[in-house]
Chain A
Amino acid sequence: DQQVKQNSPSLSVQEGRISILNCDYTNSMFDYFLWYKKYPAEGPTFLISISSIKDKNEDGRFTVFLNKSAKHLSLHIVPSQPGDSAVYFCAASGDSGYALNFGKGTSLLVTP
């Protein structure tokens, strides 16, 4: 059963605009939520994370929002740049052990 879901397989955004990537989860015991970016032929690269006790974390152009009651998180990229084009994975952990539970990913394309 997929505990972390990314329901949009792809997203296309113009350069300079905001990209919003969404993620839903089912396990209320998750403590930590993370976003990873993946380029072809490379491993996932850690981007930003948030604890379940917070509702927002910001790092430069990247902001993650957490809505615990809705079991929903989102990643905002402002402004979007062509180099942001990649697959973005949402991950969660904490119900037991240290395994990361990943969504299926959203492929972001930022067009000039």
Chain B
Amino acid sequence: DTGVSQNPRHKITKRGQNVTFRCDPISEHNRLYWYRQTLGQGPEFLTYFQNEAQLEKSRLLSDRFSAERPKGSFSTLEIQRTEQGDSAMYLCASSTDRASYNEQFFGPGTRLTVL
């Protein structure tokens, strides 16, 4: 399978703990995006990488959130001192800069539950 993969698929943590998610994009895609989706809402943009450079960050990305893409391939999203409001589905997407209409291809997501 050459699609976007995300690990873990599910994460349950206690409030105040740190969590880290991983995303492996489609191999030839140089753009990588993180979104968050809560119940009844569409995905909300968090941040975007072009290769290893983080070029856009949403105001939703508080200082407890950090994302990296050190070698321009996989990416990690870390949430420090988790809060119950962080419970959501975290989606990763990738695309190529040759995309005609900015079409992005999503992974299956990591569902985070903060107790």
Contact = CB atoms under 8 A, between A and B. Distances in A.
Interface stretch (B13-21, B71-79, B80-88, B105-113): B105-113
A50 B102 CA distance: 10
Interface in B84-110: 91, 93, 95, 100-109
A42 B108 contact: yes
A97 B55 contact: yes
B12 to A, nearest CB: 16
Interface stretch (A12-20, A76-84, A98-106): A98-106
Interface residues of B, number: 27
A43 B101 contact: no
Interface of B: 4, 31, 33, 35, 40-45, 48, 55-56, 58, 91, 93, 95, 100-109
B42 to A, nearest CB: 3
Nearest to B107: A43
Contacts of B56: 97-99
A103 B23 CA distance: 24
A94 to B, nearest CB: 7
Nearest to A6: B42
Contacts of A34: 101-103
A100 B48 CA distance: 11
